[in-house]
Amino acid sequence: MDIPFVNMLLILAGYINLVIAIGFSVYLFRRFNAFALTNFELAARVQIPCIIAEIESGEILFATPAIETMFGYYQGELLGESVDRLVPQVVRETHARHRAVYSAMPTARMMRGVDGVCKDGRIIAVEVGLIPVAVNGQHCVMAIIYLKQQKDIAV
């Protein structure tokens, strides 16, 4: 079986787990009138490596602990930052243009062969699944990010 296809299935399985967790939480709310966790907290609890960012500005609204660990940040350190902070300097302008195009017609899609940059400057190869979501009326994207391999390149 093709490795990228298997990775895509793993990302899809993670997203399905999140949807199931959210659905179960909604069920509990309706059944017992108690909603203990927000949808974002559920994503963090099931350890899906994802961020949620506003599409046009790229502002990170939520990052799971798995993402913070992957990129070497402390808890909450990415909140309010631009997603461009996770993109290597040489492609930041291109990434901003791609984000602008994506905001015009957001659709679920997979990005392969993408590099990310850690807080310490290490470059990591990742695969990113993009899923458009709405958060408090804002057009956002959930980016599920999986580590592909580590490169030994410093920025």
- pLDDT tens digits, one per residue of 52-74: 788 888 899 888 888 999 999 99
Residue 64 buriedness (CB in 10 A; 0-12 / 13-18 / 19+): buried
pLDDT for residue 36: 43
Q: Indicate whether 42 pLDDT > 50.
A: yes
Which CATH architecture best describes the domain 3-154?
Answer: 2-Layer Sandwich (3.30)
**H or E stretch including 109?**
strand 109-117
pTM above 0.75, yes or no: no
Confidence of residue 142 (pLDDT cuts 50, 70, 90): confident
Confidence of residue 84 (pLDDT cuts 50, 70, 90): very high
**H or E stretch including 112?**
strand 109-117
Residues 102, 141 contacting (CB under 8 angstroms): yes
110-129: pLDDT as tens digits: 888 899 999 999 999 999 98
Task: Please tell me the distance from the alpha carbon of residue 115 to that of residue 137, in angstroms, as a whole number.
Answer: 30
Give the tokens for residue 64. Answer: 């799971």
pLDDT for residue 149: 55
How long a stretch of residues is the chain? 155
pLDDT for residue 122: 93
Task: Please tell me the distance from the alpha carbon of residue 94 to that of residue 44, in angstroms, as a whole number.
Answer: 30
- Among the listed ranges 13-27, 39-53, 98-112, 116-130, which one has the minimum average pLDDT value? 13-27
pLDDT for residue 78: 93
Give the Å distances, CA to CA, from 58 to 12, 86, 114, 125, 144.
23, 11, 17, 20, 15
